[in-house]
């Protein structure tokens, strides 16, 4: 094996959920014909109307003069002009903004955006000071764990818990008494709606974080991979927040285009330019075919419409089925708590004082043919020992409703057995 640099070592490791995925793939491969209900997937469901939209946009592109320009030529690092213009127009109209093309950057998926930002704003300065990448509410997206070349720069904060004992529900809130955003903070990142919990930070909470960061000119990246206007996977009302130090970061992956890798950042030109240069060095630009069809879907209004009429109801129905099944089958005397399902494509279950850890529960569930993701992989950057980290699982809403029902009944039985065993 070749000797690796510090960066090489860091980047050649799989972090968080990607490491678990290996075990899941092995399990499915060695199943010997056994059927598993796989509730681990982060891949969105292929919905016929969504696939048709992308097919229609592709046909339109193929039939146009534009095709050669799109696929046979390099373009600018900032992105394909028609897509940038479509985003500017849509957001200006929808949110009453005055964006220009200088406010937009298109990236090959939004994961790339977090890698650029985490390393441009976070990590060691030329003077050797450490600039932190702050995750204000842990748990959050597991992918943030792998984005920095300087892992010690990543720091996440434990939240407060709002618990509804009677209904077996709970919600995380940022703990502003602990959260530290200082002159050492390079940038702040959080997902809204949140993967894995489905939490949606309130407008007030977002603005409070942005105001704390503004004092130090610190960029705040609001990961809107599940937010409105597309894919509109918020089930609770939310308004996207904009501001001088806010980078509103979107992804078309959950709007049915994960294969084409489209991320979109909206923010002040001074921030956009830094990320754009990073992108030129990393990969020149995102695929122009994906950008050209995305421009069509946004310009026609079809993407926003399909998001609210097809994509959102699809997952909202599933979370309702999951909630009803758990309410019916989970023992009411046990301290189980489902996070309020406010968005995204996952449910997040907390089993307080669980006698085994999340990894062992994952194994127990595998034994009854149900695959979930152990929760402890979703706390990147969180230091210290917090028992709660080992008491949660993430349940994907990408399975069918009958599968979700069946799996939650089995989960209820396993959970009961586990608590009773002690």
Q: Which residues bind ligand PLP (CB under 6 A)?
A: 42, 109-111, 141, 143, 191, 195, 223, 225, 251, 253, 258, 263
CB of 413: closest distance to ligand PLP in angstroms?
30
By C-beta, is 109 or 136 nearer to ligand PLP? 109
By C-beta, is 168 or 288 nearer to ligand PLP? 288
What is the token pair recorded at 30?
A: 């060695």
CB of 32: closest distance to ligand PLP in angstroms?
30
Residue indicated by tokens 């060095």: 281
CB of 265: closest distance to ligand PLP in angstroms?
11
Q: How far apart are CA 335 and CA 155, in angstroms?
A: 29
By C-beta, is 50 or 334 nearer to ligand PLP? 50
By C-beta, is 202 or 363 nearer to ligand PLP? 202
By C-beta, is 250 or 330 nearer to ligand PLP? 250
In order, the DSSP letters of 238-261 are ------TTEEEEEESGGGT-GGG-
CB of 381: closest distance to ligand PLP in angstroms?
15
Contact 354, 399 (CB under 8 A): no
CB of 305: closest distance to ligand PLP in angstroms?
21
Helix (H, G, I), strand (E, B) or coil at 131: strand
Q: How many CB atoms lie within 10 A of CB 236?
A: 13
CB of 3: closest distance to ligand PLP in angstroms?
30
Q: How many CB atoms lie within 10 A of CB 262?
A: 26
By C-beta, is 139 or 143 nearer to ligand PLP? 143
Q: How far apart are CA 397 and CA 390, in angstroms?
A: 21
By C-beta, is 137 or 415 nearer to ligand PLP? 137
Contact 226, 234 (CB under 8 A): yes
CB of 418: closest distance to ligand PLP in angstroms?
29
CB of 313: closest distance to ligand PLP in angstroms?
20
CB of 224: closest distance to ligand PLP in angstroms?
9
CA distances from 260 to 68, 106, 225, 279, 342 (A): 18, 12, 15, 17, 27
Instruction: Report CA Rg, the chain.
Output: 21
Among residues 278, 340, 354, 346, the alpha carbon closest in space to that of 114 is found at: 278
Helix (H, G, I), strand (E, B) or coil at 162: strand
CB of 133: closest distance to ligand PLP in angstroms?
14
Beta-sheet pairing, 220-223 with 246-251: parallel
By C-beta, is 252 or 412 nearer to ligand PLP? 252
By C-beta, is 172 or 336 nearer to ligand PLP? 172
By C-beta, is 75 or 258 nearer to ligand PLP? 258
Region of residue 348 (left: phi > 0; alpha: psi -120 to 50; beta: else): beta
What is the token pair recorded at 90?
A: 């849509």
What is the token pair recorded at 126?
A: 């030329």
CB of 348: closest distance to ligand PLP in angstroms?
13
In order, the DSSP letters of 282-329 are HHS---HHHHHHHHHHHHTSHHHHHIIIIIHHHHHHHHHHHHHHHHHH
By C-beta, is 42 or 290 nearer to ligand PLP? 42
Contact 407, 370 (CB under 8 A): yes
Contact 239, 72 (CB under 8 A): no
């Amino acid at each position: 094996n070749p000797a690796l640099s510090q960066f090489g070592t860091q980047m050649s490791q799989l972090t968080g959920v990607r490491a678990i995925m290996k075990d899941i793939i092995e399990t499915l491969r060695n199943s010997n014909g056994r059927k598993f209900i796989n509730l681990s997937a982060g891949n969105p469901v292929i919905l016929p109307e969504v696939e048709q939209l992308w097919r229609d946009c592709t046909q339109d592109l193929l039939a146009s003069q534009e095709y050669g320009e799109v696929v046979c030529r390099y373009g600018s690092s900032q992105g394909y002009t028609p897509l940038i213009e479509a985003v500017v127009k849509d957001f200006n109209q929808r949110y009453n903004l005055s964006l220009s093309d200088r406010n937009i950057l298109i990236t090959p998926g939004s994961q790339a955006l977090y890698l650029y930002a985490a390393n441009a704003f976070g990590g060691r300065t030329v003077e050797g000071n450490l600039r932190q990448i702050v995750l204000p509410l842990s748990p959050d997206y597991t992918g943030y764990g792998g984005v920095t070349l300087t892992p010690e720069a990543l720091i996440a904060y434990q939240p407060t818990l709002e618990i509804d004992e009677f209904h077996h529900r709970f919600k995380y809130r940022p703990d502003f008494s602990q959260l530290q955003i200082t002159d050492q903070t390079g940038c702040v990142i959080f997902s809204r709606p949140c993967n894995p919990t489905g939490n949606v930070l309130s407008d007030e909470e977002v603005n409070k974080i942005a105001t704390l960061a503004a004092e130090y000119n610190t960029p705040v990246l609001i990961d809107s991979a599940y937010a409105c206007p597309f894919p509109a996977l918020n089930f609770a009302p939310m308004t996207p927040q904009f501001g001088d130090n806010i980078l509103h970061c979107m992804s078309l992956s959950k709007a049915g285009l994960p294969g084409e890798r489209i991320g979109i950042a909206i923010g002040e030109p001074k921030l956009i330019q830094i990320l754009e240069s990073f992108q030129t060095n990393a990969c020149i630009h995102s695929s122009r075919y994906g950008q050209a069809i995305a421009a069509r879907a946004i310009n026609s209004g079809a993407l926003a419409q399909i998001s609210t009429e097809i994509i959102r109801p699809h997952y909202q129905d599933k979370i309702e089925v999951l909630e009803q099944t758990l309410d019916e089958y989970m023992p009411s005397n046990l301290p189980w708590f489902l996070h309020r399902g406010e968005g995204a494509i996952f449910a997040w279950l907390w089993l307080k004082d669980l006698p085994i850890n999340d990894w062992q529960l994952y194994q127990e569930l595998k034994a009854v043919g149900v695959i979930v993701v152990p929760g402890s992989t979703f706390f990147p950057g969180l230091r210290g020992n917090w028992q709660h980290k080992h008491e949660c699982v993430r349940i994907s809403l990408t399975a069918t409703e009958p599968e979700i029902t069946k799996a939650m009944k089995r989960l209820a039985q396993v959970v009961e057995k586990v608590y009773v065993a002690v």
